[in-house]
Amino acid sequence: MKRTAIVGLAALVASMLTSGAWAQSSETATGTGAAKAKPGPAAASGTADKTAAGDNGISPLINGPETNFRAARNAFAKGDRSATAQDIRKGAAFIRIEANRPNATNQADLLTSAAELESLAGNVDQGNVSSPYDLSRAFARADLALARHYHMLAEESLREHNVKQSSAWLGAATDYVNDSVAWNARQLKESGSPVVKKMRELQKNLQAKIASGAHSASQETAKGLNALGADLQQLAQKISQ
């Protein structure tokens, strides 16, 4: 993606988040509200900076949803319904941006997740959400939708013999699966942790290819990446509504 496209994405974020449809204030999703958020359940996974896919120009956006989810959880714990709802809407806005990618083959799931988050934000605003687990379940579903999205982009990049980009997308997908497991460990830890391990091994294989100067991955690695689609689908079904 060219630098001009980065500016366009940033403008789109600002536009979405300052409109009445997405937020109640003029803060952007990368503003101070999110930046000051203390680490939430996913902190231990080391996913605070998901910039793996930096070459495509969207590195400032990749971690947007998770940063806002953590901020929302912290605000909810403090009883600040307005801030909680605002951060949830910011996360939803980022997900809609990903859904609007021309090559977003997981668009339907992303849009469903964004709509769920927007509905949750409305319920929080109205005082109809009393359990933090309601937030955690929605965040886990959103993270899995993003993981499947980035996994599909990794597959597409590998088909185009772009091993470096495939590895980057797979890294983002892995982080989001890890985050999803952290949000909803009671349902996902047993089955999700082995998937994360498998994804990290595949990324190591891709990184080894990059280090060797290869422009394509082995057939075994390509098959493994393809098989991850079924694993991610099963995880999504475990926490479906």
Average pLDDT score over the chain: 77
pLDDT of 1-56, one tens digit each? 333 333 344 444 444 443 333 333 333 333 333 332 322 333 333 333 443 344 44
Residue 50, pLDDT score = 46
Mean pLDDT, residues 76-95 taken together:
96
- Please check the confidence at residue 224 and state whether its pLDDT lies above 50: yes
**C-alpha span between 54 and 16 (Å, rounded):** 23
- Which residues touch 80 (CB under 8 Å, ≥6 apart)? none
- Which residues touch 168 (CB under 8 Å, ≥6 apart)? 52, 53, 54, 55, 56, 154, 157
How would residue 104 be classed by pLDDT, with cut points 50, 70 and 90? confident
pLDDT of 106-143, one tens digit each? 899 999 999 999 999 999 999 999 999 999 999 999 99
**DSSP single-letter state for residue 83:** H
Residue 7, pLDDT score = 34
Where is pLDDT greater, at 12 or 71? 71
Residue 208, pLDDT score = 87
**C-alpha span between 236 and 123 (Å, rounded):** 23
